[in-house]
Amino acid sequence: MLIGSYSPTLVIISLCVAILASYTALDLTGRIATAKGRAVHLWTAGGAIAMGIGIWSMHFIGMLAFELPIDLGYDGAITLLSLLIGVLSSGFALWLVSQP
């Protein structure tokens, strides 16, 4: 059985990234109420990108914080796909909560 440990510094960085990304995304999305026309879509997209990148970064930094006694690697295509999924899911969630 492999026994791992966490890097406290990277865990704290991961937490800070999550907090800052959430604040940024919610601040951008909060501007939807006063926006009109195309600006609504741009604010939603901005919030989705900020939150998606924040979620992805927080998880990725968290994975990097976990140290195992073996070498690990990450597939580039799957890693980018997970980023896209995070942004699209965030966009759907932000769109859903901004509906009247």
Q: Where along the chain do its domains lie?
A: 5-97
- Per-residue pLDDT at 97: 85
pLDDT digits (tens, 9 = 90+) for 1-47: 888 999 999 999 999 999 999 999 888 888 888 889 999 999 999 99
- CA 15 to chain CA centroid, Å, is 11
pTM of the model: 0.85
- The β-bridge partners of 73 are none
